[in-house]
Amino acid sequence: MKIPVKSVISKTDVKKLRKKRQVKAKKTAILRKNFRRLNESSKTFSTQFQESSESPSTSKRLSSKISTLISKSIPETIDNIAKEKLLPIIKSRGYN
C-alpha cells in the first residue's frame, strides 16, 4: 500500500515542529508549575502546603540574619564605587 504524498514530511519539518512544541512547553511551564491542581489527599499536596505555611517564618528568620550584613556591606561598596568613579573627574578638574 502506498503512503499518500501529503502525509510524507521531511526530517527537517519534523524537527521544526518538535522545536516549536518545546518552545511552547517552555513558555507555559512556569504557569503549570505554579497553578497545577493537586488532590488534597496526595502526598505532594501536603508537602507543598507545609512549605507554603513555613515560608513566612523562614523569610523572617533569614531577613533578620541577613539584614545586619546588608546594612553594613552595601553602603560601603556603593561608597567605594562612587569614589572610584569620581576620582578621575576630581583629579582632572584640579580639586584634589
At residue 51, the pLDDT reads: 57
CA dihedral over 62, 66, 67, 70, signed as positive or negative: negative
For the segment 37-46, the average pLDDT, to the nearest whole number, is 63
Phi, psi for residue 4 in degrees, rounded to 5: -60, 145
Residue 96 confidence (pLDDT) above 60:
no
**What is the maximum span of the chain, computed from C-alpha positions, in angstroms?**
91
What is the tens place of the pLDDT at every residue in 63-81?
777 776 667 667 777 777 7
| C-alpha cell at position 71 | 546594612
Residue owning grid cell 517552555:
26
pTM flag (> 0.75): no
* Domains of the chain, residue spans: 67-96
What's the gap between Cα 16 and its chain centre?
Answer: 27
